[in-house]
Structure 1
Amino acid sequence: MESNDENPLISIIILNYNAGKLLEECVDSIYHSNYKNYEIIIVDNNSTDSSHIECKEKFPLIDLIENKKNYGYCEGNNIGIRKSKGKFVIILNPDTIVDPNWMNELLLGHQKFGDGIYQPKFLTIDNESIIQSTGNMIQLFGFGYSRNKGDKDEQQFNNMETVNYASGTCLFTSKKIFEKLEFFDSFLFAYHDDLDLCWRASMQGIQSYYVPTSIVFHPSEGFSFKWSNFKFFLLERNRLYCLFTHYSRSTILKLFPSLILVDFAVSFFYLKNGLFYEKIKASFSIIKNLGTIQSRYNKIQKTRTVNDKEIIFNFKNEVILPKGTNIKNKIPFNSILRVLSKLSRMAI
């Protein structure tokens, strides 16, 4: 397998942690791809099942990396990226099934728009007419969500376009972009990792794109963490981390009154859903890691070429939660976000 201009080598990184038979099904679907110049690197995060061993036995050509501990999504994928030989890299979750033409279409997207970060259209595995994502969006106060999740796919979202960030469920870019961005931020461990990566990319003028002709199938609920307390802790901690490392100090000062009110709203939101302890843990984790945050802030701000006002222009005022999400007080929370976002935009 070698890279050339017409058929560049693509390195597919699959991070595994107790994925069971899902891993084999994912790899099997890759082997049915129409594009053939690729390598598969499975990075196992110290699984307690034998999924990675069984997959290697069934598909001996894959490259298996066995970590001695669970490094999380970010560093686990970084290990695979550093090992990769391809001109391009795809980060792919093990609970996905890929359409045979998925890689060809991602490459065509790159040929059209050049350096950037790309994601396919995600459809639901057990109901292919239901959308999982047509690109991900960032709310002004750092919340991320999957666009059009739960909508019926009637080919109404078939335009290739820029989005706020590409989903880490399946993310395509060049290895040189990963190297330029210095990979995923390992502090995050998991969640908001894709938001963080693409937000940092946009600060350097690197856009994220949705490629509707590339199709990947994904369960309505991923196998990892699901909607656990730990997931809510990571989502809130990492949201705050991204705010304080990505926005300039000037922007943070202008947003500060709204951020305080949003924090009260988030605390109430977490309390009503039995997650207040996770909110407290997230806030204390930010305080505990202020030194890390300051160091990260300095590093990110030194490389930026695009100002906050230009980036914020494309951010959203509310969070569109997936249809059927069992979360209380969605409407009042979004009403607060909308009002505060509009006021904040006037100040920036």
Structure 2
Amino acid sequence: MDKIAVVILNWNGVKLLEQFLPSVVQFSAGATIYVADNASTDDSVNFVREKFPTIKIVQNSGNHGFAKGYNDALQHIDAEIYALVNSDIEVSENWLKPIIETFEIENQTAIIQPKILDFKNKEYFEYAGAAGGFIDKYGYPYCRGRIFETIEKDNGQYDDNCELSWASGACFFIRKQVYHELGGFDESFFAHQEEIDLCWRALNEGYIIKYNSQSTVYHVGGATLQHGNPKKTYLNFRNSLLMLVKNLPKKRMFFVIFTRMILDGIAAIRFLTQGKFQHTFAILKAHFSFYCISLKYIRKRKDFQIQQYYTVKSIVYLYYVKKLTVFKEIFNRIQNIKN
């Protein structure tokens, strides 16, 4: 069994592979590198075979999205640690060593995220993950280094190792045993928020999720589905509701989901006033889909859910009403309340 397998999911991304595989090959000594291909119709597979013969290829039967794409591919990969890496990630020298060392000395740590910076502007954090993720009481995700549309410059303010609520799927390290124990990603999510759902399930099972700042990668972001795309809006809003149904403590479930749906309605109205009619329709479509399949997701609930799954009650309120736009401001507010 390999110590670590770096697995890059690909669909018609030959240009991204051409640009970003060299850094992965150069800086991943000791790891076995895989490209998991979601039945690409471009020249991706031939390109990898010809230019990077040391990379192993797993060919999936169709374009199954992020969740099923990885679930299918990882059935054929044997390693103690999976490093799931987007095809638009540039890695840095020594990116694997601090992650492996953490897994070796911390048995309960099951998932780790590195520091994720913006490939196009390397002094800033990247939208999808930044310095590690959290959720509020109503399931809205936010990151150290990125809250909604506010992205911070990396001034070393998050050069620490800390526990998280979720790690970004852009560069996601997980123990093989834990991944399969949890059943992998929820395949009906297709894409978006499936990593948050998996992390929440891991927390419910008593595992720890961590951020390690000694490992750094650079992410293009939106290379496969642009931020602001109505399809992304649909998947984010629908999957967030499904995630809440699966993982919320039973006593809080009805109130939290009811409140969240009201907040989603406000977001839909906001899109409407901005002339973003497709995004308003995407939220309505997400809610309709949720109504149709929510009962199936209630059956997926486990017997135990952690009670304190959130850090702040409403990141929406703090950001839009209190105008707290960076994580440090919110963290200081929490500390003042506790004191």
Scaled by the length of structure 1, the TM-score of the pair is 0.83
Residue 124 (structure 1) aligned with residue 118 (structure 2): yes
Once residues 208 and 270 of structure 1 are traced to their aligned partners in structure 2, the CA distance between those partners, rounded to angstroms, is: 34
1:145 aligns with 2:142: yes
Give, as a single letter, the amino acid of the residue that structure 2 aligns with 1:51: S
Alignment of 1:49 onto 2:42: yes
Distance, in Å, in 1 between the alignment partners of 2:256 and 2:216 is: 38
Once residues 205 and 258 of structure 2 are traced to their aligned partners in structure 1, the CA distance between those partners, rounded to angstroms, is 28
Corresponding position of 1:225: 225
Q: How far did 1:222 drift?
A: 2.4
Aligned partner of residue 83 in structure 1, secondary structure = coil
Measure, in 2, the Cα distance between the counterparts of 1:173 and 1:315: 26
Q: What is the one-letter code of the residue matched to 2:119?
A: I
Give the drift of 1:261: 3.0
The whole-number CA distance in structure 2 between the counterparts of 1:124 and 1:66 is 29
Three-state SS of the structure 2 residue aligned to 1:65 is strand
The alignment partner of 2:79 has SS state of coil
Q: Does the 8 Å CA contact 1:147/1:320 hold for their aligned counterparts?
A: no
Aligned to 1:289: 293
Counterpart position of 1:21: 15
1:302-313 to 2 correspondences below 5 Å: 302=303, 304=304, 306-308=305-307, 310-312=308-310
**Where in structure 2 are the equivalents of 1:1-348 lying within 5 Å?**
2-3=1-2, 9-33=3-27, 36-114=29-107, 115-132=109-126, 133-149=130-146, 150-219=151-220, 221-227=221-227, 228-255=229-256, 258-272=259-273, 273-274=276-277, 275-297=279-301, 301-302=302-303, 304=304, 306-308=305-307, 310-312=308-310, 314-315=311-312, 317-319=314-316, 331=320
**Aligned partners of 1:58 and 1:45: how far apart in 2?**
19
Distance 1:100 1:260, change over 3 A: closer
| Stretches of structure 2 lacking an aligned partner (at least 5 in a row) | 325-339
**In 2, are the aligned partners of 1:164 and 1:315 still within 8 Å (CA)?**
no
- The alpha carbon displacement at 1:266 in A equals 2.8
How many angstroms apart in 2 are the aligned matches of 1:255 and 1:270? 22
Do the aligned partners of residues 288 and 256 (structure 1) sit closer, same or farther apart at CA in structure 2, a change above 3 Å counting?
closer
Task: Give 1:257 shift.
Answer: 5.3
Shift of 1:315: 4.8
Q: Which amino acid is 2:134 matched to?
A: M
- Rounded Cα–Cα distance in structure 2 between residues aligned with 1:139 and 1:270: 22
In the alignment, which residue of structure 2 is the partner of 1:340? none
CA distance in 1, matches of 2:322, 2:72: 38
- Listed as ranges, the gaps of 5+ residues in structure 1 are 4-8, 322-329, 336-348
Q: Distance in 1 between matches of 2:252 and 2:59?
A: 42
Please list every run of at least 4 consecutive aligned residues from structure 1 whose deviation after the TM superposition is greater than 3 angstroms.
332-335
The DSSP-based 3-state class of the residue aligned with 1:311 is coil
Aligned to 2:327: none
Q: In percent, how many aligned pairs have the same letter?
A: 27
Q: CA deviation at 1:214?
A: 0.2
Aligned length: 312
| Aligned equivalent of 2:329 | none
Counterparts in 2 of 1:196 and 1:102: CA distance versus 1, 3 Å: same
Which shows bigger deviation, 125-134 or 92-101?
A: 125-134
CA distance, structure 2, for counterparts of residue 78 and residue 247 of structure 1: 24
Tell me, yes or no, if the aligned pair for 1:270 and 1:279 is still in contact at 8 Å: no
> How far, CA to CA, are the matches of 1:103 and 1:165 in structure 2?
19
Q: Please give the alpha-carbon distance, in whole angstroms, between the structure 2 residues aligned to 1:129 and 1:319.
A: 26
When residues 71 and 263 of structure 1 are mapped into structure 2, their CA distance, relative to the original with a 3 A threshold, is: same
Paired amino acid for 1:104 = K
Contact 2:81/2:176 (8 A) holds in 1? yes
Q: TM-score, normalised by structure 2?
A: 0.85
